[in-house]
Amino acid sequence: MKKTFSLIEQLQQLLGKDRVISNPDELIVFECDALTLHKNIPEGVVLPESTEEVSAITKLCSEHKTPFLARASGTGLSGGATPAKGGVIIQLSRMNQILEIDYEDEIAVVQPGVINLHLTEAVSSRNYHFAPDPSSEKACTIGGNVAENAGGPHTLKYGVTTNHVLGMKTVSPTGEIVEIGGRCEDSPGYDLTGLFTGSEGTLGIITEVTVKLTRNPESIKTLLVVFNSVEDASISVSNIIAEGIIPAAMELIDQLAISAVEQHLNVGYPTDATAVLLIEIDGVATSLDKEMKRIQQICLSNRAMIAQIARTDKEREDLWRGRKETVGALGKITPAYYTNDGVVPRSKLPEILADTIRIGNKYGLRIGNICHAGDGNIHPLILYNPDDKNEVENAIKVSEEIIKKCIELGGSITGEHGVGTEKSEYLGMMFSEEDQEQMKKIRDVFNPDYLLNPDKIFPTQSKRNKINLKKTKKLKGWL
């Protein structure tokens, strides 16, 4: 009698037992991403080392009708890389090679497990960098950046991940290996590269990415501006853009976040400031002095106390280290935090930041704010005690009220973290059921059996029943 092998056994035959994790104690590591409120343990985790192995794995999962999803560093903040329905995690961390660097065409071809910052380090000696720079760049992977269309401080001038992706190799849910896009700026036909970027791992598994490399600017100037008021800092952001100046980055950090950074890192943020702006401009050296002087004038006219240019590379690096390690610094003052990444029009920054503090006070929770201010992309850091059930519930309520306020102000539920499972129930605040059904039709073309990363982006029926859906028809007629 022919023996029927389980999926785990077949995966072990394919990869070897050392590259298949099925021990329950070891699987706990994969139950969540960097946002830990929602947890699910997978049935197994596999560690492929090639596109062909990913293809074979997906074929086996599809044959067994078992859900599966791709994951790399697990630094996501929306639950996108968590196993909502158990199943198999395809862990791509071993696919971490830079396959090609072409300076003549200014591109690189990388595997999805390449750490974001490692690509910049690999090309820095030739005066290039990879422009997308999430604050988690030391740990996050390019595959994850593409899946979530990640942003970062310098997206104001250089754009988000999709602006730097030219093509990719993907594996379909049934195991087909498909190449989309290419090495050129534009390809004829539908923009499938753009469609896959930001699709949160629901259309296919990305196994190679072709990205643009960006030349380092001739000169860089970084300005630290200190305010007694978050509102004055926010107004300065709008005024600078209205002047026709587009800095490379404009980041806002409020008092609570400043305090955490200085306790942990001591990078030079003034602890008596209510808010600081970190403003960076780059380009041709001869043009920067005049531009920076005008930025300083605008900030000082909005009651800035200090507008100081970093005098050395070390000062500049310290200022940015403080901004990019703010979240880690919060560990000095809280056992846990919860966050979202709502977006508002720049002119509404003063209002949303004031509402954020008000909402936190309403539920008795402290909130630190860091913002990609030039994009209107907020990151409220809601501090709570994970051992206090009431505080956990209140943290979720605070986040939900902030998201709702972003929508009221003409914004969005996410700017770069993605929808995942964390914000799927809020999708109905922006799109009607009919709109969502049109989007699902696109997903179903690529993922018809819904085995690849299920229960992401769109609310499940139980979640849909909890919210009030809009009646807009903005996407009617797509398909």
Q: Is residue 184 part of a domain?
A: yes
* Same domain? 123 vs 111: yes
Q: Is residue 43 part of a domain?
A: yes
> How much is the pLDDT for 463?
52
> How much is the pLDDT for 248?
98
Instruction: Give the dihedral of Cα atoms 455, 457, 461, 465; nearest 10 deg.
Output: 150
Q: Is residue 474 part of a domain?
A: no
Number of domains the chain is built from: 5
Q: Is residue 438 part of a domain?
A: yes
Say which CATH number the domain at 387 has: 3.30.70.2740
Strand 44-46 versus strand 88-91 pairing type: parallel
Instruction: Confirm if 417 and 78 have CB atoms less than 8 A apart.
Output: yes
* Same domain? 71 vs 148: no
Query: Order of strands across the sheet with 107-110?
Result: 98-102, 107-110, 205-212, 165-171, 177-181
End-of-domain residue from the set 215, 236, 261? 215
Render pLDDT for 120-132 as a digit per residue (tens, 0 to 9).
Answer: 999 999 999 999 9
Instruction: Confirm if 389 and 381 have CB atoms less than 8 A apart.
Output: no
End-of-domain residue from the set 167, 182, 215? 215
* Same domain? 239 vs 316: yes
> How much is the pLDDT for 2?
46
* Same domain? 145 vs 207: yes
> How much is the pLDDT for 479?
30
Cβ neighbors of 102 (< 8 A, separation 6 or more) are 108, 183
* Same domain? 85 vs 102: no
Rounded CA separation 332/372 (Å): 23
* Same domain? 224 vs 203: no
- DSSP secondary structure string for all residues of 356-408: HHHHHHHTT--EEEEEEGGGTEEEEEEEE-TT-HHHHHHHHHHHHHHHHHHHH
Rounded CA separation 210/434 (Å): 35
Instruction: Confirm if 135 and 153 have CB atoms less than 8 A apart.
Output: yes
* Same domain? 239 vs 320: yes
Rounded CA separation 212/202 (Å): 24
Instruction: Say whether pTM exceeds 0.85.
Output: yes
Segments of the chain with pLDDT less than 50: 1-2, 464-479
Say which CATH number the domain at 255 has: 3.30.70.2190
> How much is the pLDDT for 286?
92
Q: Is residue 424 part of a domain?
A: no
* Same domain? 105 vs 179: yes
- Tokens 């000696």 correspond to 125
Buried b (16+ CB within 10 A) or exposed e, 130-161: bbbbbbbbebbbbbbbbbbbbbbbbbbbbebb
Range(s) of the domain holding residue 456 = 432-464
135's tokens: 């604050």
Rounded CA separation 413/416 (Å): 10
* Same domain? 79 vs 12: yes
Q: Is residue 445 part of a domain?
A: yes
* Same domain? 80 vs 30: yes
